[in-house]
Chains A and B, each alone.
Chain A
Amino acid sequence: TNLFWLLYADLAFSFETKMPEVCHTVTSPVVCCAFNSDKSQLALCPNNEEVHIYGKKGMAWNLLEVLKEHTEIVNGIDWAAKSDQIVTCSADRNAYVWKRDGKKWKPTLVLLRMNRAATCVKWSPNENKFAVGCGAKLVSICYFEKENDWWVSKHIKKQINSTVLAIDWHPNNILIATGSCDFRCRIFSAYIKEIEAKPAPTTWGSKMNFGACMHEFSNSGGGWVHSVSFSFDGNKVAWVGHDSSISVVDSESNCKMLTIKSRYLPFASCSWISPSSIVTVGHDCIPYLFKIDASGNLVFQEVLDKKEKKEAGNAFRGVSIHRGSKQDCGSFCTFGMDGKIINWDIKTLEQSISGLKIA
């Protein structure tokens, strides 16, 4: 009988860890967060001007270091998987690139040349550039200049009429999609001739001079665009707006726009988790799943938290791929105003919700 209970206890423990696993809880809203490549470390901003680095030890997350360089709230953090560098940007108009120096992290100033708050930051797929969105109605593309050993920037300003809220990179390392408060999603070229070869034509166009606006999309009326996401192959772009809508444009179908104006509270963030599925999170404390069905229509697929007591206690701020990729997601991670960072396992979701298949 002793052996039986031991076995049972072991099974119970392993089952528990597969449920939407609450990775970590902090006592304040999590504004932004990023994991390193093997998901053993996490950088987050607890709603102030600090960046907290946590390390996983067994099942617990321990605070390893507090990075105190910014003087106002840190709006964006991104962790480059391959080069292991962290970039942070803040309302203090600055961005820093952090490199490991033994056990500590050392910052390098970036010359953003912005005179308003930085709102979001993303490393490019090859990690030789990063893009920073700004309240000055522009995007700053930063790259490393070896001669002077600093990060310099070029500005993309064309057609942007309000604060840039979100950025996502195309897998070709050249194009970016932006979402801003002027209700539009735009695709720009961030081609830096100093550090890379001329890009091959894509489904979004072939002439990619730096700063050229390849496309501008609006779902007629719309709301502030809170988040944008390129599909894994870069051929589709999805965005969510404050009018509780989700929109998708497919460059291979002549840029046809598919939109759903949902009856939920506005979405704050979205991400593709498969070639045809998008997960969105927002002011309702539940993740939603949308998909492009076989006939090419954008449809609402499923509510991903049907429990009495929801996992999240307050609005979500962001969602990102945790295990896997946008092509084949193993789990995705959400963070929000309740201070929780939750890891949602795809297989577990499919098992717990009858009829759900994420393809």
Chain B
Amino acid sequence: AATLKPYLNAVRSSLTAAMCLQNFSSQVIERHNKPEIEVRSSKELLLTPIIISRNEKEKVLIESSVNSIRVSIAVKQADEIEKILCHKFMRFMMLRAENFIILRRTPIQDYDISFLITNFHTEMMLKHKLVDFVIHLLEDTHIDANHFSEINEQFMEDIDKEISEMKLAVNARARICAEEFLKTVN
């Protein structure tokens, strides 16, 4: 839709600015080095959070600090099916948060999925690639009516194909079993 491009551009430039992180040792506990956005021990190290809304239901919350940033996404869920799909999809990813490296195991209150990106991530990965990843996720989870029926059709097609293949496989095995059995009997 017309509002998608400006929404994604606004998120992209806000993320690029908020992701200017650096290594920072804790100033409250010696020898600690923790993401300040999670620990929140010193208020001066936290930046003002910003919310970029496409509409009431779809928004992105960006909370940044000196060495870490939290990005939370609220995805549009117009009806029950979308709610379930979204919940399943997000849960699938969050259960495997370690593999995604920058994913947070639980989302922030009022949001569906959250990322925690620290200076260690921006040191080992390219910053603009991290931003691209988040933007792509926004695009992918953007379910609108047209898109949903496409996904649904594709899904039904795939299911039908799998069921047909399973039927064929079962028949093939049955035939082979019968042949072998008849060989021994004959």
B99 adjacent to chain A (CB < 8 Å): no
Residues of A within 8 A of B144 (CB): none
Q: How far is the CA of A137 from the CA of B16 in the complex (A)?
A: 29
Q: How far is the CA of A265 from the CA of B24 in the complex (A)?
A: 19
In the bound complex, do residue B31 and residue A183 qualify as a contact, i.e. CB atoms below 8 Å apart?
A: no
In the bound complex, do residue B27 and residue A136 qualify as a contact, i.e. CB atoms below 8 Å apart?
A: yes
B9 adjacent to chain A (CB < 8 Å): no
Across the interface, B42 reaches (CB within 8 A) one of A29, A162, A183, namely: A162
In the bound complex, do residue B24 and residue A163 qualify as a contact, i.e. CB atoms below 8 Å apart?
A: yes
Q: How far is the CA of A73 from the CA of B31 in the complex (A)?
A: 11
In the bound complex, do residue A268 and residue B22 qualify as a contact, i.e. CB atoms below 8 Å apart?
A: yes
Across the interface, B33 reaches (CB within 8 A) one of A91, A224, A265, A282, namely: A91
Smallest distance from the beta carbon of A281 to chain B beta carbons, Å? 13
In the bound complex, do residue A91 and residue B25 qualify as a contact, i.e. CB atoms below 8 Å apart?
A: yes
In the complex formed, the residue of B with least CB distance to A337 is: B123
Residues of B within 8 A of A28 (CB): 123
Q: How far is the CA of A337 from the CA of B122 in the complex (A)?
A: 9
B94 adjacent to chain A (CB < 8 Å): no
A182 adjacent to chain B (CB < 8 Å): yes
Q: How far is the CA of A344 from the CA of B185 in the complex (A)?
A: 88
In the bound complex, do residue B25 and residue A183 qualify as a contact, i.e. CB atoms below 8 Å apart?
A: no
Residues of A within 8 A of B33 (CB): 91
In the bound complex, do residue A93 and residue B30 qualify as a contact, i.e. CB atoms below 8 Å apart?
A: yes
In the bound complex, do residue B25 and residue A29 qualify as a contact, i.e. CB atoms below 8 Å apart?
A: no
B169 adjacent to chain A (CB < 8 Å): no
In the complex formed, the residue of A with least CB distance to B45 is: A181
B26 adjacent to chain A (CB < 8 Å): yes
A323 adjacent to chain B (CB < 8 Å): no
Q: How far is the CA of A282 from the CA of B30 in the complex (A)?
A: 28
Residues of A within 8 A of B31 (CB): 72, 91-93, 117
B126 adjacent to chain A (CB < 8 Å): yes
- Report if A314-B126 is in contact (Cβ < 8 Å); known contacts: A91-B31, A135-B25, A265-B17: yes
Most buried by B among A72, A119, A266, A337: A337
Interface residues of A in 133-151 (CB under 8 A from B): 135-137
Majority SS of interface residues in chain A?
loop
In the bound complex, do residue A162 and residue B44 qualify as a contact, i.e. CB atoms below 8 Å apart?
A: yes
Residues of B within 8 A of A163 (CB): 24, 27
Residues of B within 8 A of A119 (CB): 25
Residues of B within 8 A of A117 (CB): 25-27, 30-31
Residues of B within 8 A of A73 (CB): 23
Q: What does the 1/0 interface line of A296-327 toward B look like (CB < 8 Å)?
A: 00000000000000000011000000000000
Residues of A within 8 A of B123 (CB): 28-29, 47, 337
A17 adjacent to chain B (CB < 8 Å): no
Residues of B within 8 A of A282 (CB): 20
Q: What does the 1/0 interface line of B32-50 toward A look like (CB < 8 Å)?
A: 0100000000101100000
A31 adjacent to chain B (CB < 8 Å): yes
In the bound complex, do residue A265 and residue B20 qualify as a contact, i.e. CB atoms below 8 Å apart?
A: yes
Residues of A within 8 A of B20 (CB): 242, 265-266, 282-283, 315
- Report if A135-B27 is in contact (Cβ < 8 Å); known contacts: A91-B33, A181-B45: yes
In the complex formed, the residue of B with least CB distance to A313 is: B126
A253 adjacent to chain B (CB < 8 Å): no
Residues of B within 8 A of A183 (CB): 44
In the complex formed, the residue of A with least CB distance to B42 is: A162
Q: How far is the CA of A85 from the CA of B182 in the complex (A)?
A: 91
Q: How far is the CA of A179 from the CA of B22 in the complex (A)?
A: 15
Q: How far is the CA of A117 from the CA of B23 in the complex (A)?
A: 11
Query: A residues touching B (Cβ–Cβ < 8 Å)?
Result: 28-29, 31, 47, 72-73, 75, 91-93, 115-117, 119, 135-137, 161-163, 181-183, 224, 242, 265-266, 268, 282-283, 314-315, 337
Q: Which 5 interchain pairs have the tightest Cβ spacing?
A: A117-B25, A135-B27, A283-B20, A91-B25, A163-B27
Q: List 21 A-B contacts (CB under 8 A).
A: A72-B25, A73-B23, A91-B25, A92-B31, A116-B30, A117-B25, A119-B25, A135-B27, A136-B27, A137-B27, A162-B42, A162-B45, A163-B24, A181-B42, A181-B45, A181-B66, A183-B44, A265-B16, A266-B20, A282-B20, A337-B123
